[in-house]
């Protein structure tokens, strides 16, 4: 029997000024579109002088990139309609130029697969309204599957440094660094790497390459090189099928690289690698039970100013810069128990742009002005959803079969009082990912329909140390699925879940666990919904070898996590499509036609296998959709199909007929 430890839910109650008129009406029962739509404000950035904000807005089916004055609510925003591409993020190069990162699914005959997700960066001049796609008209530019990376911003020169390949079809491709003019978008090569082995340039505030990372996929050799005495010298090397460490940026004195690395410990910490000889010291930051999962760096010089540790309550940031650390303490104290993410800050650190949220709130963007000690709200992400319509998110723990403690989220429907209720198990993707108490649009939709939602951090999840993460290798259908099953059984024995009304829903790797639950624990679930799932591991690996190359780190990663130390025979053993005869519950498959991560063939393989076994299966294909459900149209389509499919099996009288 599993004992649950219920921890208090995180709630946000802040009454502050809403200075940007980005609000909408709210109503008693939000329609499915309220959850399926993209957030009204998808990303936002603060100009270096603190006078403007740039943001991505989704409204009335349109995607826009807008800029407006921060302290003038009457000023009209200026910007672009970017509905024909997929806007991903926005940032400032300087007070004049905004940088828009975007992508688009492209059909190509150049690469081994016929579809790629092509990334790009655009500059927007707020003084003239002129927009340029960067590197697009550069003569030396070769064949690239993406042009979306930025190595450094040189704000005083209206220049950014961008890596890309030179070399056209039939030529030798070389990963190179370009100086790109923000006004005309044209770049010039400033440094060339070692063929296709170079995968990153580490650049200082003047645009000079200080270090370079090379990785030979064929030799499985990782190098960090620095430029000394007019030649490249290796200061660090390691044989590994995966990248052994990540360079996060420079130390404050610029004499060392700060790297995220295990360094003989179970969790990822931050260490200093001297540029002189590559020796590693530290840790600069480390926690015994939590990995560093993110860092914040200054865009103009690459100095690391903060690290983020994995935490069930949301990423916990620790600032390295003494003055910013003091300000961060003030902000955290002012906002109490809320989960706060620093997004941006002015060059003089007097203004901070923040995102404040919890599992019980879709989140709000706020500005902290250190000069007056005041926090103002800029906008809320989902104005159509009232607090009364939001499920309460609890952090829980339970023990797996061998006693391992598993953390999880339990979302209860609005107004829920403890009693056996219908439940949806919602395992996360990855597998190297983890759940934390942040807003989850799919979980909240399910809770709004009257269902409990369980989201476990099974073994194989990241953030909790390499022992916990590596324990999932080769054990997807046994230990990993067992952690999910233990959570379900614990919810039943604790009196929360009705054992006859439990379904499992997941996307990507969560979709795999959905299919695994269907065939390896067939008596546990009344139904299943798998979105972009992996179903046949041999076919999936063949696709990765074709699209990424047989010696690629992607193939090495997937081979390791699928096989563990069990060998190739484990691929069929863990593949749900090979065990379709064992399925009993009905299945709904949902997959985007433009998925370049997990091809739609994976869902079609599962559908064929279940059809041959005379099992109940339906499939919905999403036109124009990628792996991430990037559009409001397909998110809403997914929720509608999923909601209609779940309803008869969960039989909840409180669910709305949407």
pLDDT of residue 18: 33
Tens digit of each residue's pLDDT (9 = 90 or more) over 432-449: 999 998 889 999 999 999
Question: According to the model, what pLDDT value does residue 370 have?
Answer: 93
Q: What percent of the chain has pLDDT over 70?
A: 93
For range 165-183, the mean pLDDT? 90
CATH of 387-536+575-650, one of 3.40.50.1820, 3.40.50.20, 3.40.718.10, 3.30.1950.10: 3.40.50.1820
Which pLDDT does position 3 carry in this prediction? 34
d(CA 625, CA 606): 20
- Position 112 scores a pLDDT of 64
Query: Mean of the pLDDT values across residues 52-79?
Result: 91
Contacts for 482 with CB less than 8 Å, ≥ 6 apart? 400, 401
pLDDT at 495 over 90: yes
Strand partners, 269: 261
- Give residue 24's pLDDT: 31
- Name the pLDDT band for 116 (thresholds 50, 70, 90): confident
pLDDT for 110 equals 66
Q: Return the pLDDT at 30.
A: 86
What pLDDT does 259 receive?
97
Q: What is the dihedral of CA 350, 351, 355, 360, to 10 degrees?
A: 80
Is pLDDT at 32 greater than 80 in this prediction? Answer: yes
Where does the pLDDT of residue 359 fall: very low under 50, low under 70, confident under 90, or very high at 90 and above? low
Angle in degrees, CA 532, 538, 541, rounded to 5: 70
Least confident of 50-54, 259-263, 336-340, 496-500: 336-340
Per-residue pLDDT band for 13 (boundaries 50, 70, 90) equals: very low
Low-confidence winner among 109-123, 146-160, 303-317 (lowest mean pLDDT): 109-123
Q: Dump pLDDT digits (tens) for 387-400.
A: 889 999 999 999 99
Structure confidence at residue 612 as a pLDDT band (50, 70, 90): very high
The string of pLDDT tens digits covering residues 271-306 is 999 999 999 999 999 999 999 999 999 999 999 999
Per residue in 544-560, pLDDT (tens digit) is 999 888 888 889 999 99
Mean local confidence (pLDDT), 133-144: 92
| Res. 19: pLDDT tops 60 | no
Q: How confident is the model at residue 109 (pLDDT cuts 50, 70, 90)?
A: low
pLDDT of residue 7: 28
Whole-structure pTM over 0.85, yes or no?
Answer: yes
Please provide the DSSP assignment of 232-275 as one string.
Answer: EEEEEEEE-SS---EEEEE-TTSSEEEEEE-TTSSS-EEEEEET
Q: How far apart are CA 512 and CA 341, in angstroms?
A: 31
pLDDT, mean over the chain: 90
Instruction: Inform me whether the pLDDT recorded for 143 exceeds 80.
Output: yes
Q: State mean pLDDT over 112-122.
A: 84
Query: Minimum mean pLDDT among 164-168, 478-482, 496-500, 515-519: which range?
Result: 164-168
CA distance 358 to 379: 15
Using a 10 angstrom Cβ sphere, with 0-12 exposed, 13-18 middle and 19 or more buried, the burial of residue 622 is buried
- Range in 169-183, 250-264, 530-544, 614-628 the model is least confident about: 169-183
Q: Averaged over 54-61, what is the pLDDT?
A: 91
Residues 6 or more apart whose CB falls under 8 angstroms from that of 89 comprise 43, 56, 100, 101
**What does DSSP say about strands 405-412 and 392-399: parallel, antiparallel, or unpaired?**
antiparallel
Do the beta carbons of residue 497 and residue 396 sit within 8 Å? no
**Rounded CA separation 68/335 (Å):** 26
Q: How many other CB atoms are there within 10 angstroms of residue 403's CB atom? A: 6
């Amino acid at each position: 029997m599993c004992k649950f430890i219920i921890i208090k839910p995180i709630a946000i109650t802040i009454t502050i000024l809403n200075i940007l008129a980005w609000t909408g009406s709210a109503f008693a029962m939000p329609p499915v579109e309220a959850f399926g739509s993209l957030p009204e404000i998808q990303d936002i950035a603060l100009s270096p002088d603190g006078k403007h904000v740039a943001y991505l807005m989704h409204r009335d089916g349109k995607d826009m990139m807008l800029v407006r004055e921060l302290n003038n609510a009457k000023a009209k925003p200026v910007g672009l309609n970017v509905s024909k591409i997929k806007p991903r993020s926005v940032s400032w190069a300087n007070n004049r130029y905004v940088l828009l990162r975007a992508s688009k699914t492209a059909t190509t005959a150049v690469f081994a697969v016929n579809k790629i997700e092509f990334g790009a960066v655009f500059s927007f001049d707020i003084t003239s309204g002129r927009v340029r796609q960067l590197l697009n008209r550069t003569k030396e530019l070769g064949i690239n599957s993406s042009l979306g990376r930025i190595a450094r911003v040189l704000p005083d020169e209206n220049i950014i440094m961008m890596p890309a390949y030179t070399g056209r079809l039939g030529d030798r491709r070389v990963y190179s660094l370009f100086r790109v003019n923000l006004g005309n978008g044209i770049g010039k090569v400033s440094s060339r790497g070692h063929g296709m082995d170079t995968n990153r340039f580490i650049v200082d505030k003047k645009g000079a390459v200080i270090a370079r990372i090379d990785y030979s996929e064929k030799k499985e050799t990782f190098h960090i090189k620095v430029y000394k005495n007019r030649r490249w010298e290796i200061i660090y090397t390691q044989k590994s099928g995966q990248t052994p460490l990540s360079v996060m940026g420079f130390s404050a004195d610029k004499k060392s690289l700060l790297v995220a690395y295990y360094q003989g410990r179970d969790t990822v910490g931050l260490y200093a690698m001297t540029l002189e000889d590559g020796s590693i010291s530290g840790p600069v930051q480390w926690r015994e039970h939590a990995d560093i999962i993110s860092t914040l760096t200054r865009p103009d010089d690459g100095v690391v100013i903060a690290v983020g540790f994995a935490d069930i309550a949301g990423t916990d940031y620790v600032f390295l810069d003494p003055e910013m650390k003091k300000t961060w303490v003030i902000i955290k104290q002012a906002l109490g128990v809320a989960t706060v993410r620093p997004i941006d800050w002015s060059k003089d650190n007097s203004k901070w742009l923040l995102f404040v949220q919890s599992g019980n709130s879709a989140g709000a963007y706020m500005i902290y002005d250190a000069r007056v000690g005041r926090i103002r709200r800029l906008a809320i992400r989902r104005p159509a959803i009232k607090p009364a319509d939001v499920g309460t998110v609890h952090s829980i723990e339970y023990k797996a079969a061998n006693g391992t403690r598993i953390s999880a989220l339990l979302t209860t429907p609005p107004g829920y009082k403890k009693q056996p209720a219908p439940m949806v198990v919602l395992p996360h993707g990855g597998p190297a990912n983890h759940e934390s108490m942040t807003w989850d649009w799919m979980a909240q939709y399910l809770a709004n329909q009257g269902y409990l939602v369980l989201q476990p951090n099974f073994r194989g999840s990241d953030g909790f140390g390499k022992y916990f993460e590596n324990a999932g290798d080769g054990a997807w259908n046994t230990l990993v699925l067992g952690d999910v099953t233990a959570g379900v059984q614990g919810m039943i024995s604790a009196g929360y879940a009705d054992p006859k009304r439990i379904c499992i829903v997941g996307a990507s790797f969560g979709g795999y666990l959905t299919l695994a639950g269907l065939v390896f624990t067939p008596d546990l679930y009344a139904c299943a919904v798998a979105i972009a799932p992996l179903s046949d591991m041999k076919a999936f690996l063949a696709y990765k070898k074709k699209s990424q190359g047989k010696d690629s780190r992607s193939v090495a990663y997937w081979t390791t996590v699928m096989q563990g130390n069990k060998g190739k025979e484990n691929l069929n053993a863990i593949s749900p499509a090979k065990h379709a005869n064992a399925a009993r519950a009905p299945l709904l498959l949902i997959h985007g036609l433009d998925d370049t991560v997990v091809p739609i063939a994976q869902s079609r393989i599962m559908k064929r296998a279940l059809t041959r076994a005379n099992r109940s299966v339906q499939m919905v294909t999403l036109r124009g959709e990628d792996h991430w459900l990037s559009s409001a149209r397909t998110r809403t389509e997914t929720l509608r199909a999923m909601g209609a499919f779940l309803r008869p099996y969960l039989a909840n009288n409180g669910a709305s007929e949407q």
